[in-house]
Every structure is written in C-alpha cells, then in structure tokens.
Amino acid sequence: HQGSSIGVSIVKQDNVEAFVSAMNQCFFAVQVKAEQWNGFSDDEKRAFAQRMANLDEGAGLPLQLQQTSEILYTPTQLIEKLNDYCSLLNNDCTLLSLNAEDQVLLEEFVVGQEFSCGVVQDDDGTVIALPPTEIAKLDEEQTFDFKTKYKLNVTRKRIPVQTSLENNQKIQYNIALVFEKLGMNTVARIDGFLTPDGRVLLHDPNTLPGMSPTSLIFKQMAEIGLDVTHAITYLIRQSLRERIRTGKDTLHLRALLQDLDVRLAYKNTQTLPVETLDLQATDESLSATRKLYGKLSAEGKVKPMVVLHTETGERYQLPVNYLFKDSIEDLMALLAQPKHPLLVETIHRTRHITARIAGGFETEAVKLN
C-alpha cells in the first residue's frame, strides 16, 4: 500500500532468520531483543528510535508495543518504553505500525535490466510509448529501495535501455499494449524487466507517475522536445480530451479545450526574445541551469537557450533533453555519439504533438563558432 519500494524486502540468504526478518519488514513489524537493546549505548538507542520513525528504514511512528498494546508517538516515548520493558523487565518485544499491512505478496526474484517507460495518448486515442529508461545500479549488490531511489546517487538513468533496437521496440510495444488493454488514458508510467533471454516482464503500472521536475516521465518527454511546462500543458490538454470522451459535462470541457488550443496556437505564432543560459561543464551548473530554464519556460516571457561551455573552449547550443541528464558526464557522452535510432523513431511519431504544444523541437546539439 505504500509505493516507492517502502515495505518491500528481498530475501538473498537461504535461511529462516533472513525470511522472518524480511516478512517482519513487509508487515511493518520490528522485533526487539532485550539483549540487543541493553547492549546499545545512549547514542545507539537514539539512532534506533529515529530509524523506527522513518517508513523507509523502520516501521514508522506511531507504533504499538504489541505486548502491552501501548501506543508510542515519538522517538523519546519509544526509548523510554523500551528502557522499561527490555532493560528493567528484561523482556523481548515487538513494535507494530498502526498502519501495518494485513497481507504480504511474495514474488520470485527477477534477474534482468530494470526499466521504466512512460506512455501517452494522442487525440484520436492512439497510444504512444515514450523512450524507455533503464535504471542501472552502480553496485549490483545494492537493493533499489526508497533510499537509493531518492537519497543516494547509486543509479544511472539510461535512455533508451542499453540493449538492441529490437528489444527497445519490444518494450515499447508491450508498454503500449498493456496501457490499452488495462483501459488507461492520458498518461502512465509502467515499470518492468528485460530478462537475459529477451522477455519483457511488466510489473508496476502507475496511472499517476511521479511529478517532480526530474521525474522519469519528464526525462522521457524531454526526449521528444517537451520541457516540464510543455509536458504539464500536454497532460492537461489530453486530460480534457479524455474527459470529453466520457460524455459528462461535455460542452464545458469542449469550451475549455478549445480555449487552450487557441492559446497554444497563438503562443506558437509569437517570437519571444531569446535569453541565453551559459552552462559550465559541472554538475552544479547543470542543476542550476535546469532549474533556471524551467522557471523561464514557465513564465513564458523569454525563450531560454542553453549554451554549453566545455573545458576545451568549445560551445554547443543544446536541445532541452540534454538538460535532463543526471550528470555533466552523461551529457558530454551524449554529445559524442549519434542519436539512438529508437529516439529518432519516437521523435518522428510524436512530432505533431511537440509542434502543437511547444512549436517544434531542435533535436540535435549545434556546435557554435
């Protein structure tokens, strides 16, 4: 019931203790041994209590001390109660989240390349899969949990998946098929694995993808020429279009859609003054430039143009998708290679969408004199 891998555990050892520990984690239950607690220093007790307060590390406050049915709301209360129960009474105990799970799903471990693929829908209902993103762990032993997803820089995002063109096309085909068969509309993000023998296994359909400025759906929409502002505009437009299909409040929704289309068409006839954003070849500059580009694009008063200054003195005018790379190293690598044929195909299929929403898309970096 959580999402973002909270409450998910992978059993890697063939023994009962590892299995029990994993099941407890999935049920948001923590067993505390008196011997273990009594061996902690004061600092270790505080660190333990703080971990228990976090859903991604512990069971999440408030907690119930199962043996006494007492509810503990703060880390301080937790320490005091464990001191009473484990230290004074020398009893083991179990801590259980008030929002503990009632059931746990057990699945086989899948070996393969992990990917996430956004999918959008055109005016006539045509389903279009975006370029899939491979989630590649820098350390193969690392579990791709909440912390590694959002707190640690332990993964690399590759667009498209580092495999053959045929396999990437197979991923897109299956993603679009599932989107259609499950009756989704407007947008989704579907995750899965590409196994070593070439099978595409899909396991996680998200009908409302993550919507932070660097979420995967925006990285993938940038590959077809839509920055965050353009992408959200597109999602609003398609949401109106799909709600019209339901036959409810039709005239009002049609009026909203028509008004939006008139505004988009007018905007695309205007020539905005260009504001150049100088990007230095550092991760800090990439992050700052991406943020400033998003701000200027959202305001709509100027057309931001990003110029990369390399360490060797070269300058490149960059299309929007370059800004969504995780690091300057990834951006520089992109400069040194031709555009992947899957990206060329997807850009071709979506060029009318990009033209309507953004007025067009410069697909290649341009070296400046």
DSSP letter at 340 equals P
297 vs 19: CA distance, rounded Å: 50
Question: What's the CA angle centered on 46, arms 42 and 51, to 5 degrees?
Answer: 145
pLDDT in tens, 272-313: 999 999 999 999 999 999 999 999 999 999 999 999 999 999
pLDDT in tens, 140-177: 666 667 777 666 566 788 999 999 999 999 999 999 99
Percent of the chain with pLDDT over 70: 96
| DSSP E strand stretches across 155-213 | 155-158, 187-194, 200-206
Q: Nearest CA to 356 among 277, 257, 273, 290?
A: 257
In the prediction, which pLDDT does 53 show? 87
Q: Output the average pLDDT for the chain.
A: 91
Read off the pLDDT of each residue in 32-61 and give the average, rounded to a whole number.
90
In the prediction, which pLDDT does 142 show? 66
Spell 52-86 as b/e; 16+ CB within 10 A means b: bbebbbbbbbebbbeeeeeebeebebbbebbeebb
DSSP letter at 285 equals H
In the prediction, which pLDDT does 151 show? 63
Read off the pLDDT of each residue in 323-347 and give the average, rounded to a whole number.
93
In the prediction, which pLDDT does 141 show? 66
In the prediction, which pLDDT does 122 show? 87
Q: In what order do the strands lie in the sheet with 63-65?
A: 29-32, 93-97, 63-65, 70-72
Find all residues with CB under 8 Å of 153, minimum gap 6, and list them.
Answer: none
pTM of the model: 0.82
Residue 306 near residue 362 (C-beta atoms within 8 A): no
CA dihedral for 309, 310, 315, 317, sign (positive or negative):
negative
pLDDT in tens, 243-283: 998 888 999 999 999 999 999 999 999 899 999 999 999 99
pLDDT in tens, 82-141: 999 998 888 999 999 998 899 999 988 888 999 999 999 888 889 999 999 998 877 666
Side-chain half-sphere exposure of 265, counting CA atoms within 13 A:
6
> Per-residue pLDDT for 48 more than 70?
yes
> Per-residue pLDDT for 345 more than 90?
yes
CA dihedral for 149, 204, 222, 258, sign (positive or negative):
negative
Q: Which helix (H) or strand (E) holds 15?
A: none
Q: If pLDDT is split at 50, 70 and 90, which confidence band does 213 have?
A: confident
272 vs 303: CA distance, rounded Å: 6
Q: Which residue has the tokens 């992990």?
A: 114
